[in-house]
Amino acid sequence: MNQYLSSASLKSLAKGQLLGKYGILTGILAMHILCTVPVSFSLSPLSGASTLLYCAASYVISLLSGFFIAGESFVYLKLACSQRPVLNDLFCCLTQGGAKAVKVLRIQSILAGISVLCTLPYTYIGNSLMKSILNAEPSFDVFPFDPALFLAYTILLVVGSAVDIFFTLLFSQIYYLMFDFPEYSESQLFKMSMQLIKGNKARLFYIELSFLPLMILCVMSCGIGFLWLFPYMEATYANFYLDLIRKQSAVRK
Residue 55 pLDDT = 83
Within a domain: 21: yes
* 203 residue type, one letter: R
Report d(CA 121, CA 184) in Å as an integer.
34
Report d(CA 204, CA 207) in Å as an integer.
5
Residue 127 pLDDT = 80
pLDDT in tens, 45-86: 555 557 778 788 889 889 989 999 999 999 999 999 999 999
Within a domain: 124: yes
Candidates 131, 115, 121, 111; CA nearest to 49 is 131
C-alpha distances (whole Å) from 14 to each of 62, 113, 220 are 27, 32, 24
Within a domain: 52: yes
**Three-state secondary-structure class, residue 111:** helix
Residue 49 pLDDT = 59
Report d(CA 185, CA 7) in Å as an integer.
31
Residue 57 pLDDT = 83
| Long-range contacts at 166-171 (CB < 8 A, ≥ 24 apart) | 166/201, 167/111, 167/114, 167/115, 167/118, 168/115, 169/197, 169/201, 169/204, 169/205, 170/194, 170/197, 170/201, 171/111
C-alpha distances (whole Å) from 182 to each of 117, 171, 191, 198, 232 are 29, 17, 15, 22, 26
Torsion of CA 30, 62, 235, 200, to 10 degrees: 160
Q: Which domain holds residue 144?
A: 7-252
Residue 177 pLDDT = 97
Candidates 112, 103, 87, 96; CA nearest to 164 is 112
Within a domain: 1: no
Within a domain: 2: no
| CA distance between the termini of the chain | 13
Give the chain's domain count. Answer: 1
Residue 140 pLDDT = 54
| Residue ranges of the chain whose pLDDT lies below 70 | 1-2, 40-49, 134-145, 250-253
Residue 96 pLDDT = 79
**Three-state secondary-structure class, residue 141:** coil
